[in-house]
Structure 1
């Protein structure tokens, strides 16, 4: 039997991305001269498939991979969409775009993300990376490690996602390339000042100099991408007991709106590679991303059961099974019209330098240094308008709702004309935003206008995340029968993440008590016409430029943090210092004449945590007093790992992996900022003191993972695999409480020490355990294995099934965030003679997902499963035989063909729709020219 066992040099080249699929075929031909192997060079999407298969085939770990034939040619417009098609992976959409990636049933916070092997910062409040920050246009590939090895410089229970840039010395010829795409949404402009079209463009240059010892790659990319949404959103569904003793539920209120967003992203990538001799190689890479997501939102907040109107019993229709009132009419109801804007800006800078030096033919040294930093600012503006200030002024409406049975929300009926600028005026129509400081500022305390001065609100949080890392490593090649080489290394990472939260009450400058207490007619210069809410039956509403009104000083602002404890708990700093050491033996052996490769190693990780936070206390006037609260903590872990790969023959491989892994706590849960307050009435534990906030003593989640995989590579373009996996969760993180002794602590509201010194503290705690297990089936099937006439046709498909049995610290069942029990992906493609066609589907079942709640707090909601179809057509004129147009390619993409919505529920009742978001379709017409 002839065994295909790549040489160590070949494996090293594969790891560096140097050897192409043609080289693999040539290698196979050399090792078995008795067989005739036809070497066929393919390009485009098929070349990417072959490259990805070879990365999977020759990796020591269990991995999935996507790659691009050329820079800027990943097969999807979003890197998250490409990743989400890999077996066992899926994505959660954010504002219609794939953003958060889950691996094998675990949410984005349980995986690590690296860029060229280096851990990355994130723009979120925690660790999970939002992939729409990273431009797919400048990436050459992504590798997802489902099993770890000791040398990986990042930890995650689910796995590690590594994004890679091109290595210029591995490119054969000079490349000068221009790519462009025009983008159009299927919705017409939902807001008069929104966008429904945009453009993406990339220019790249790759070249080698000095006898191919110096290489350079440069890519510049710009994107203006529109996105639009019709959203139904419910406040909640209060339950009550009827006069018949039965339980009923009803709509508490709704906040439907139309959103127009424009994502602007400018990025620059630079890679310098030098190999002056056979001993030394150096790579410097830099990435800069300037990211801005602008949202325009207009809608009507409609109180219902939680409003001021009366509900006629005769108007109610009740679902007999659930007791849900599916239709009703409320009379004498007042609403709030919203003209909102949100700007989310981020600036990412990442640098890395890597040097490898071959001391001898068998000993090599490596040095790696990196820096990444991101700064994010959010400016979220809410502007209110209605028929009168406060609860009981202005015209009221009679509003009815009727819920549909297909989870799309409700249709409303109404009587007032909300597009009438004479009826609808700017100002707070309901009594929201109680603030003693706001009342005192305008002199309305104790008057009929108390707590009626919030005419809008601004949320303005910022996040800064910085990570610096150093690594020293060595590799010694051994002349042995079982161990081919040994690697060992030492690394140090220092990361600091700081969040600052602030909010501002907005009050019209025209307001004065008692002289001018009314609402403001929208000035002509700010009127934009109307926006349509016809999709929920509310007709047209006034549209005005509230952002310009704020900029022009039409509102006065007052910091909410003066009287709200929330901002203290949302402002924090966390610093991590991580020191790690590893040793790994790379296996190169035989068992009964079968090639056995892989690695066995252990990684020691020590973490020092330093947190900076505040204790927030309200005084007698309601103002917040802050006390500094800095806490330090440390922990260490030993993480062993084993990966084995047994080559049954030239095409069949059996893999086994076992490893201990960890996921670090979310930073927004492990900070030391808390809100402390004294209640006159004791809680259920008999305590008057109450503490809420972060837990700086949180430690990582831990798990032991086991993987068993069978892979069959039956052709250069094809394989199938069957995988079984299990994660034994030893430690997780749940909501918990504890008692704290506050003996001697003064109640700032009274200036006295309370007689009862104990407090109930609510925060996240370590505890619980459980198991997650599942299977994966995946196949890449080129149809030319059936007949030569089908060359160019192919299919890629996968199915993953996941189950869990996880319990919290009290033994109660707990559903892991991000877990869908079924995940499927499917791609059917044709590529030949220059013509390219592809249709893709990704599907996932119901799951719990993390979304932005009020004040940009992350909250878990129940999200319904979804099936998303995309399609792409393209033509390469050179491959089609048009020499005069050689280098030119054109393409057309349609995303979300079936207009799949994003739907979440409020609680267990399937009729209680929390969110129904309709994004429509997106069309992209593109071209590429390679000089």
Structure 2
């Protein structure tokens, strides 16, 4: 049967949960005959079968065919599952939140094995893995004892094809072109891309040797307009520019008071934009992935599988815009402004000194992953062994280059800049200067920023971090079948060693011509051979700005790269090492009940022992006066019991219960030993901690993990191989959460500068620490319905969807009780309607998430958090696959992503009208063909 063969293709590998492939004749009581389906309907049937047959609460998405997940990326595919949602970064769905918790709380496995990550922490950036090379993705919402590397919110297991399980030769190829609707926003970039993939599966030696080889390459552009505000301070008239001084008759002018000048009386106390940093941004992602699997089964009792994966990842971003220091700069608001509901929404600034920015971000990463798996079965016994290795080498270049009318904020010429607020909280501007005139705009430091590092001010900045992440794991287990209806037992152990290092290099760019100038007041025209066509900033109301390739210019020899020497540079680099030994025991329940019902599940326990350590640097001063090595470590053990029970009743009903203790290890950047400290020699003689000479901030290698006790329940009703409805509820109590707190720190052994030996070696520092936890609970409703179950006239039509609600009692920032959990959207919903029959297919999908606290990149690659608006993403596609004749196996497909051009928008916590970051990506169109034989 064709569907059964398709289901068998994606059977779980060893060490993933052993979910049997479902026979559709058994998947629903209404099915009375063989039904041959392909494409999305086959994918849906596979996912429904996985959900129904699993002993845990699981959501799953399966490939429609070899090399074809239902969406363009893994993150988009699993973001449609109940209780899951994605955050868009630079226009791409990249990181996943499970049940209201940030990516830090979820674990991602590849074929059941823990993986390294390209980011600074544990959360996987899913665009590192080509969707074309994946067979299925399973999301475990409840753990079981044999699930190694499990997360606290959920465990995402990416599964690849096993060639002997597929059972026949296949050669599949896909090619797609794509175009984005904003067009080319930056000179030297493209709005067109392409994707190609090929997969070969075959069996040899009487089906005892199987081979799978897959290659996928993409070049994918993103073009978007990005408005950014510095913030929104309160307009004050307590200065000579906006107020009238009332002297108090004392020599100290600080004692004087002010009354607003009449023309500024209406502005006093209103909110006003402090500055703006808008861009047009162009990204070009290039990724080449290759995967191979060799599966050998010389005897039915013995199976040996060797697999490997390699990915080369390059993401280049070009950002061009004009940064306007306004209220927080030296600009002056002219009379004639408008105040609307407490916000100054339009007016004119004078004395504006804009910083013309040509910036670039470049990330390059190589990911290696491989493993050897051996299983042997005899006389009811099963022995399992697994060895795996993964590594990432990543380098970033985050480059800023500056230009303007002259060097220093006190020098002209200046701009007179009109401004006005739009309905979406962004602003447009009306300049008098021509920012596209290369005779007016020159390379320089318009505001004189960084003059303490570079005389006359820095002319740019380069952040150049390098990350290495390496993991090796060994696993062994033994299973024993206990007989009919008696279940089985399994005991095993896993050892993992992971080492991750972040090395920081930062440079202040200084023009060589300025360094040679006696007064350090030189500006330099952009070399004519470097100039590109001006970049239009129409969405800002600015006709254009000068443009050049910032990476090419930076390395042309025109700049000096002056190494940063501030303490922050050293305090944010780190290395973290983890040695994790996990032992477990598990009993699988299999029991028949009355009237053909059955009870299944598992009861087990994991014992996790962790030895974690970190090495780093303690630094003080700018430039750094003191550097010393620091290190620390801690060992802890946790007991993680778990139980899953599922009663499969007559009529297609299933009742599930999951109870477990779950664990997620801390973020690695929070575990760093590095610290930025201060020493005040004037306090060296004090013995009171309130007047200690020591202070600082940093990480904490002694952090303990997040630990939660959880209860999950689910009621499911199955109507057929691709139709069901379910209602689930869950409750988690986190014993602890990790906060940044003021704590005592022992500075014994730290060097002392500028004074005598202090009487006190303890001080108060701001570091991450385990603190009070709280509860998290929610409910999920999901369904999939093939309309053929209602009437045969609607065969081929169907729909599926889900709605999730999550509530949290956790306060992630004690200093700001109103701040929500990172990544938590209280409401998450998705829906898809589809038609698929006789080769024709059409599908429209929508996913929605309510507002949430997003995680973004700040200065350099540092993490910042911002409140994000709710968003609704609409995608659609149509296709046709030839069913016979010379073109049989050929499929054509047209797709559109983000059809409604939904923006990504963050805002100031004080007022949702105060937009901080607003990104509009446009629509992405893809046209492709696939062929399989």
TM over 0.5: yes
Deviation of the 1:792 alpha carbon: 0.5
Question: Partner of 2:326 in structure 1?
Answer: 304
Deviation of the 1:927 alpha carbon: 0.4
Deviation of the 1:758 alpha carbon: 4.3
Contact 2:462–2:508 (8 Å) recurs in 1: yes
**3-state SS in 1 of match to 2:50:** helix
Question: Partner of 2:862 in structure 1?
Answer: 857
Deviation of the 1:404 alpha carbon: 1.9
Question: Partner of 2:278 in structure 1?
Answer: 256
Deviation of the 1:391 alpha carbon: 1.3
CA distance, structure 2, for counterparts of residue 738 and residue 416 of structure 1: 52
Residues 456 and 15 (structure 1), Cα distance of their counterparts in 2 relative to 1, 3 Å cut: closer
Matched, 1:666 2:667: yes
CA distance, structure 1, for counterparts of residue 10 and residue 194 of structure 2: 39
CA distance, structure 1, for counterparts of residue 191 and residue 385 of structure 2: 48
Residues 488 and 897 (structure 1), Cα distance of their counterparts in 2 relative to 1, 3 Å cut: same
Residues 315 and 48 (structure 1), Cα distance of their counterparts in 2 relative to 1, 3 Å cut: same
1:397 to 415, 440, 443: 415
Question: Partner of 2:506 in structure 1?
Answer: 503
Contact 1:22–1:40 (8 Å) recurs in 2: no
Deviation sequence 1:109-162 (CA, Å, 0-9, x none): 100000000011111111111101111011011000000000001131101000
Deviation sequence 1:363-391 (CA, Å, 0-9, x none): 00000000000011001211100000111
Question: Partner of 2:804 in structure 1?
Answer: 800
Deviation of the 1:676 alpha carbon: 0.7
Question: Partner of 1:24 in structure 2?
Answer: 23
CA distance, structure 2, for counterparts of residue 814 and residue 271 of structure 1: 46
Deviation sequence 1:460-503 (CA, Å, 0-9, x none): 0011100000000011000265x400011011000000000111
1:925 to 917, 924, 927: 927
1:243-392 equivalence runs, <5 A: 247-312=269-334, 314-320=335-341, 323-358=342-377, 360-392=378-410
Question: Partner of 2:229 in structure 1?
Answer: 234
CA distance, structure 2, for counterparts of residue 15 and residue 416 of structure 1: 64
Residues 142 and 646 (structure 1), Cα distance of their counterparts in 2 relative to 1, 3 Å cut: same
Contact 2:12–2:159 (8 Å) recurs in 1: no
Deviation sequence 1:156-213 (CA, Å, 0-9, x none): 1101000010010121321111110001010121011011001100011100000101
Residues 411 and 809 (structure 1), Cα distance of their counterparts in 2 relative to 1, 3 Å cut: closer
Matched, 1:774 2:769: no
Residues 844 and 412 (structure 1), Cα distance of their counterparts in 2 relative to 1, 3 Å cut: same
Q: Which piece of structure 1 moves more, 583-592 or 704-713?
A: 583-592
Deviation of the 1:814 alpha carbon: 5.2
Deviation sequence 1:857-877 (CA, Å, 0-9, x none): 111110111000001111101
**3-state SS in 2 of match to 1:239:** coil
Q: CA RMSD in A?
A: 2.4
Matched, 1:192 2:197: no
Deviation of the 1:341 alpha carbon: 1.3
CA distance, structure 2, for counterparts of residue 14 and residue 382 of structure 1: 47
1:737 to 742, 754, 774: 742
Matched, 1:467 2:471: yes
Question: Partner of 1:410 in structure 2?
Answer: 427
CA distance, structure 1, for counterparts of residue 9 and residue 416 of structure 2: 73
Deviation of the 1:324 alpha carbon: 2.4
Question: Partner of 2:250 in structure 1?
Answer: none
1:124 to 105, 119, 137: 119
CA distance, structure 2, for counterparts of residue 550 and residue 831 of structure 1: 53
Matched, 1:567 2:569: yes
Deviation of the 1:690 alpha carbon: 1.9
Residues 15 and 502 (structure 1), Cα distance of their counterparts in 2 relative to 1, 3 Å cut: closer
Contact 2:626–2:751 (8 Å) recurs in 1: no
Question: Partner of 1:426 in structure 2?
Answer: 443
Contact 2:8–2:165 (8 Å) recurs in 1: no
Q: Which piece of structure 1 moves more, 426-435 or 738-747?
A: 738-747
Matched, 1:491 2:494: yes
Contact 1:583–1:603 (8 Å) recurs in 2: yes
Residues 814 and 416 (structure 1), Cα distance of their counterparts in 2 relative to 1, 3 Å cut: closer
Question: Partner of 1:449 in structure 2?
Answer: none
CA distance, structure 2, for counterparts of residue 64 and residue 471 of structure 1: 26
Deviation of the 1:221 alpha carbon: 1.0
Q: Which piece of structure 1 moves more, 636-645 or 681-690?
A: 681-690
1:67 to 56, 62, 65: 62
Matched, 1:722 2:727: yes
Contact 1:265–1:290 (8 Å) recurs in 2: yes
CA distance, structure 2, for counterparts of residue 138 and residue 51 of structure 1: 17
Matched, 1:831 2:805: no
Question: Partner of 1:201 in structure 2?
Answer: 196
Deviation of the 1:329 alpha carbon: 2.1
Matched, 1:899 2:901: yes
Deviation of the 1:810 alpha carbon: 5.7
CA distance, structure 2, for counterparts of residue 139 and residue 375 of structure 1: 23
Question: Partner of 1:82 in structure 2?
Answer: 77
**3-state SS in 2 of match to 1:148:** coil
Deviation sequence 1:821-856 (CA, Å, 0-9, x none): 000000111000100101111100000111111121
**3-state SS in 2 of match to 1:276:** strand
Deviation sequence 1:664-714 (CA, Å, 0-9, x none): 100000110001113589999544422111111111011111111001111
Deviation of the 1:330 alpha carbon: 1.7
2:578 to 568, 576, 579: 576
CA distance, structure 2, for counterparts of residue 36 and residue 537 of structure 1: 62
Deviation of the 1:11 alpha carbon: 14
Residues 107 and 526 (structure 1), Cα distance of their counterparts in 2 relative to 1, 3 Å cut: same
**3-state SS in 2 of match to 1:382:** strand
Q: Which runs of 5+ in 2 are unaligned?
A: 238-258
CA distance, structure 2, for counterparts of residue 567 and residue 516 of structure 1: 26
CA distance, structure 2, for counterparts of residue 538 and residue 367 of structure 1: 63
Matched, 1:542 2:546: yes
Deviation sequence 1:222-247 (CA, Å, 0-9, x none): 11000011000111122355668974
Residues 725 and 516 (structure 1), Cα distance of their counterparts in 2 relative to 1, 3 Å cut: closer
Deviation sequence 1:72-97 (CA, Å, 0-9, x none): 11011111000100111000001000
Residues 742 and 290 (structure 1), Cα distance of their counterparts in 2 relative to 1, 3 Å cut: closer
**3-state SS in 1 of match to 2:700:** coil
Matched, 1:632 2:629: no
Deviation of the 1:287 alpha carbon: 0.4
CA distance, structure 1, for counterparts of residue 19 and residue 728 of structure 2: 26
CA distance, structure 1, for counterparts of residue 811 and residue 536 of structure 2: 47
Deviation of the 1:618 alpha carbon: 2.4
CA distance, structure 2, for counterparts of residue 36 and residue 491 of structure 1: 42
Question: Partner of 2:249 in structure 1?
Answer: none
Contact 1:200–1:222 (8 Å) recurs in 2: yes
CA distance, structure 2, for counterparts of residue 48 and residue 416 of structure 1: 58
Residues 485 and 347 (structure 1), Cα distance of their counterparts in 2 relative to 1, 3 Å cut: same
**3-state SS in 2 of match to 1:855:** coil
Question: Partner of 1:135 in structure 2?
Answer: 130
Question: Partner of 1:642 in structure 2?
Answer: 643
Residues 528 and 47 (structure 1), Cα distance of their counterparts in 2 relative to 1, 3 Å cut: same
Contact 1:767–1:808 (8 Å) recurs in 2: no
Residues 476 and 886 (structure 1), Cα distance of their counterparts in 2 relative to 1, 3 Å cut: same
CA distance, structure 1, for counterparts of residue 333 and residue 205 of structure 2: 82
Deviation of the 1:27 alpha carbon: 5.1
1:440-451 equivalence runs, <5 A: none
Deviation of the 1:570 alpha carbon: 1.5
Deviation of the 1:533 alpha carbon: 0.8
- Number of aligned residue pairs: 893
